[in-house]
Amino acid sequence: MYKRVLLKLSGESLMGEQNYGIDNNRLEEYALQIKEISDLGVQVGIVIGGGNIFRGLSGAAKGFDRYQGDQMGMLATVINSLALKSSLNNVGVKARVLTAIKMEPVGEFYSQPKAIEALENGEVVILSGGTGNPYFTTDTGSSLRGIEIKADVMLKGTRVDGIYTADPEKDPNATKFDEITFDEIYDRGLKVMDLTATTMCKENNLSIVVFDMDTPGNLIKVIKGEKIGTLVKN
């Protein structure tokens, strides 16, 4: 179905069964799922969140300055990116970390041509540090990078299996959409992704598939066009 994808992984999901940090089993499950699609020849760019370590907004609630807190959050995404790179290398996948903030030799400073060149060479490219700016999220980072690398689709891997009429973790009567338009997301006030990220995808015509990444085997199903999750398009 897709030749080049931008995969967004939730930092919070990386906690697995733990309350904080990185669950190695979850990390390895992710690496194996990514290996499956990379072995098929799909070019994979990845943005991973940082919510399992630090979020700027929760920091601000505890009295941190938001600007500082967001910088801490962006660094958290770099920690997760390095962990994922290592896990991908362990299962035999070549991967490279590019950072939105200059911090060589931790990762190479991001540029669009560098990312595309690595993708074309068959490397998995982890685009870390979000957008490099405070007051944004990694969902917005992944919309931005997805558009920049000219991905065919953005795959939002999360812990719910799609977009529902209401938050399925709160409303047991919520029903799932197989497909939905960007406009319907606004009209119904659905909160699966922040509006900045949604709007960037809408304006640049980058479709999104929201799916449950925590069930092994799902990523390859999405790539093969099986109708799991929810497709968002114009």
Ligand X SMILES: Nc1ncnc2c1ncn2[C@@H]1O[C@H](COP(=O)(O)OP(=O)(O)O)[C@@H](O)[C@H]1O
Ligand Y SMILES: O=c1ccn([C@@H]2O[C@H](COP(=O)(O)OP(=O)(O)O)[C@@H](O)[C@H]2O)c(=O)[nH]1
Residues making up the annotated binding site are 8-11, 50-51, 55, 70, 131-138, 158, 164, 167
Cα distance between residue 120 and residue 140, in whole Å: 24
Report the residue from 16, 21, 134, 168 that binds ligand Y according to the rule CB under 6 A.
Answer: 134
Q: Taking CB under 6 A as the rule, does residue 70 contact ligand Y? A: yes
Report the residue from 32, 133, 181, 215 that binds ligand Y according to the rule CB under 6 A.
Answer: 133
Shortest distance, position 44 Cβ to ligand Y, whole Å? 17
Q: Which stretch binds ligand Y (CB under 6 A): 116-124, 134-142, 169-177, 197-205?
A: 134-142
Number of residues that bind ligand Y (CB under 6 A): 24
Report the residue from 5, 6, 11, 210 that binds ligand Y according to the rule CB under 6 A.
Answer: 11
- The item of ligand X, ligand Y, none sharing an interface with residue 197, based on CB under 5 to 8 Å by kind, is none
Shortest distance, position 191 Cβ to ligand Y, whole Å? 13
3 state SS of 31: helix
Q: Taking CB under 6 A as the rule, does residue 10 contact ligand Y? A: yes
CA 162 to chain centre: 14
Cα distance between residue 107 and residue 78, in whole Å: 9
DSSP character string of 79-121: HHHHHHHHHHHHTT--EEEEESS--TTSSEEP-HHHHHHHHHT
- Tell me which residues touch ligand X (CB under 6 A): 10, 12-13, 49, 51, 139, 158-160, 163-164, 166-169, 190-192
Q: Taking CB under 6 A as the rule, does residue 23 contact ligand Y? A: no
Q: Which is nearer to ligand Y, 43 or 71 (CB)?
A: 71
Picking from 209, 218, 200, the residue whose alpha carbon sits closest to that of residue 163 is: 209
C-alpha dihedral sign at 64, 16, 166, 184? positive
- The item of ligand X, ligand Y, none sharing an interface with residue 33, based on CB under 5 to 8 Å by kind, is none
- To the nearest 10 degrees (0 to 180), the angle between helices 195-203 and 138-148 is 10
Largest CA distance in the chain: 50
Cα distance between residue 120 and residue 129, in whole Å: 22
Binding site for ligand Y (CB under 6 A): 10-12, 49-51, 55-57, 69-70, 73-74, 76-77, 130-131, 133-134, 136-139, 141
